[in-house]
Amino acid sequence: MAAKKPNIIFFHIDNLGQGELGCYGGGILRGAETKRIDQFAQQGLKLTHYVVEAQCTPTRSALMTGRYSIRSGNHTVALAGSSGGLVAWERTMADVLTDAGYATSCVGKWHIGAEDGRWPTDHGFDEWYGPAHSYDECLWTEDPFYDPRRDPVSYMFEGTKENGVQELKDQQLTPELRINVDVEYQKRAMDFIKRSVDAEKPFFLYHNHSMMHLPNVPREEFKGKSGNGDWADCLVEMDHDFGQILDLVDEMGIADNTIVVFAGDNGPEEMQLWRGTSGFYEGSYFTSAEGGIRTPCLIRWPGKIPAGQSSNEMVHVTDMFTTLLKMAGSDVPEDRIIDGIDQTEFFLGKQENSSREGCVLFVGDQMHGVKWKDFKLMFKKQKYFFDSVPPLGFVNLINLITDPKEREPINHQHLHTWVMAHAGKILKEFQSSLKQEAPIPAGAPLDFRPDRDKK
């Protein structure tokens, strides 16, 4: 009898710094315990070197396609009025899992396409509910210069693969709706899990929680819960919501056959009043600083992934695409460049080291540097969202073990110049891949196909 395919739940957190959760050194130091998440961290593998891209759209694109966002033309955050997103040629994790017989659902922010042909339901998901872009749009109605008779109005959307996506004219994205939006996400996510189990179908739930994206205002039931203000109350709320999903998995009797991933999409929120923290590192989202590209990631698969494990080995967000597909028994697309590396043996505890040594770092369309193990070779330097980004006069080599805050003076770099050989190899392989398959330009039409095997 064939082994039953594992269910997959990817619980994605928006703008989560590595200093927020108790299991990463935050929790009570951030004004609120994260009891359920901390407990979950003991049930599987905790990664402390999970590398994402610098912004929401790039990371979500990389996760869904297994490709650096610069390849798919999704290397910068999508705003209202912008065109683009995933072209039809791209194959997402949901596309591949659908072909393998999975039920698929996306709740919450998609952010890699906001028009027909680019919605989640056009890229493998059976159903979706969420905003077209992101949650800052709820603040439009608070702006004294905003006029809904003249300016765009942001609504929630829902759709299915069969019937397409509709704009919900009775659900304008306002501060009031944003406060309670995760209640609807939870309801739809839990209903999807129940329906899938009843239908005896393996499922993939891509659950995009709205926290900790601005504005961070808690639901009424969590108001004052932490005693440390709205931001800490929202941390309690997010912890509670994740716990609800775990409780349902237990109630349905599917925990042993369900891979659950809890991960952030980029570094912390930088806007006041909702500023987050990257903890041990420095930096915010929209930067190549370690705090901007390193975020929590926890993985549980009872009986398969050893419990109570923690590793500082590097894993890139694209690896999740390849690894989860392999764990599901699916083949990774071979007709395109895939940057994700299969980490199955590492996750299952069959090898001590990650299968990845490094990656390239982009912020928008600018290459900022190359990571190799615990070193960074940087061509540009930026720590926080509003910092200017002048090119460095000479490459800056950073040892993240001895200098986690990335403050090492440039005249110290000669201590590690041998690292340049490793970083140079990664860079050379990446540049060679661009000749094999040209990147899809930002804003490319839906039917665009990349040039391959260019000479």
Taking only the tens place, the pLDDT of each residue in 12-51 is: 999 999 999 999 999 999 999 999 999 999 999 999 999 9
Structural contact between residues 167 and 155, judged by C-beta atoms closer than 8 angstroms = yes
292, amino acid identity? G
pLDDT at 196 over 90: yes
Structural contact between residues 423 and 370, judged by C-beta atoms closer than 8 angstroms = yes
Sheet of strand 391-399, all strands in order from the earlier edge strand to the far edge: 358-363, 366-372, 375-380, 391-399
Distance CA 187, CA 178 (A): 15
Residue 449 lies in a domain: no
* Amino acid 174: pLDDT: 98
Average pLDDT in the 394-411 region? 86
Residue 256 lies in a domain: yes
What pLDDT band is residue 81 in, cutting at 50, 70 and 90?
Answer: confident
In this structure, the answer to whether residues 331 and 422 fall within a common structural domain is no
Last residue of a domain, one of 328, 347, 366: 347
What pLDDT band is residue 455 in, cutting at 50, 70 and 90?
Answer: very low
* Amino acid 172: pLDDT: 98
Distance CA 285, CA 222 (A): 26
In this structure, the answer to whether residues 311 and 374 fall within a common structural domain is no
Q: Counting beta carbons within 10 angstroms of the beta carbon of residue 398, is it exposed (0 to 12), middle (13 to 18) or buried (19 or more)?
A: buried
240 labelled catalytic = no
* Amino acid 1: pLDDT: 46
Average pLDDT in the 109-133 region? 97
Last residue of a domain, one of 315, 347, 379: 347
Structure tokens at 146: 């905003």
In this structure, the answer to whether residues 122 and 17 fall within a common structural domain is yes
Which of 56, 106, 138, 359 is the catalytic position?
56
Average pLDDT in the 357-381 region? 96
In this structure, the answer to whether residues 247 and 366 fall within a common structural domain is no
Residue 393 lies in a domain: yes
Which of 111, 123, 316, 368 is the catalytic position?
111
Residue 443 lies in a domain: no
Average pLDDT, the chain: 96
Structural contact between residues 158 and 129, judged by C-beta atoms closer than 8 angstroms = yes
Our CA dihedral for 264, 266, 272, 276, rounded to 10 degrees, sits at 50
* Amino acid 3: pLDDT: 75
In this structure, the answer to whether residues 292 and 362 fall within a common structural domain is no
The percent of residues above 70 in pLDDT, for the chain, comes to 98
Residue 107 lies in a domain: yes
In this structure, the answer to whether residues 104 and 229 fall within a common structural domain is yes
pLDDT at 119 over 60: yes
In this structure, the answer to whether residues 107 and 211 fall within a common structural domain is yes
In this structure, the answer to whether residues 299 and 368 fall within a common structural domain is no
pLDDT at 324 over 80: yes
List the domain range (segments joined by +) for residue 147. 7-347
What is the total count of domains within the chain?
2
pLDDT at 11 over 70: yes
What pLDDT band is residue 389 in, cutting at 50, 70 and 90?
Answer: confident
111 labelled catalytic = yes
Looking up residue 426, the CATH number of its domain turns out to be 3.30.1120
In this structure, the answer to whether residues 391 and 285 fall within a common structural domain is no
What pLDDT band is residue 411 in, cutting at 50, 70 and 90?
Answer: low
Last residue of a domain, one of 319, 347, 375: 347
Average pLDDT in the 422-441 region? 97
Residue 364 lies in a domain: yes
In this structure, the answer to whether residues 176 and 27 fall within a common structural domain is yes
pLDDT digits (tens, 9 = 90+) for 221-249: 999 999 999 999 999 999 999 999 999 99
More confident residue, 412 or 169: 169
Average pLDDT in the 115-120 region? 97
Residue 444 lies in a domain: no
In this structure, the answer to whether residues 246 and 332 fall within a common structural domain is yes
Cis peptide before 212 (omega within 30 of 0): yes
Residue 163 lies in a domain: yes
In this structure, the answer to whether residues 199 and 124 fall within a common structural domain is yes
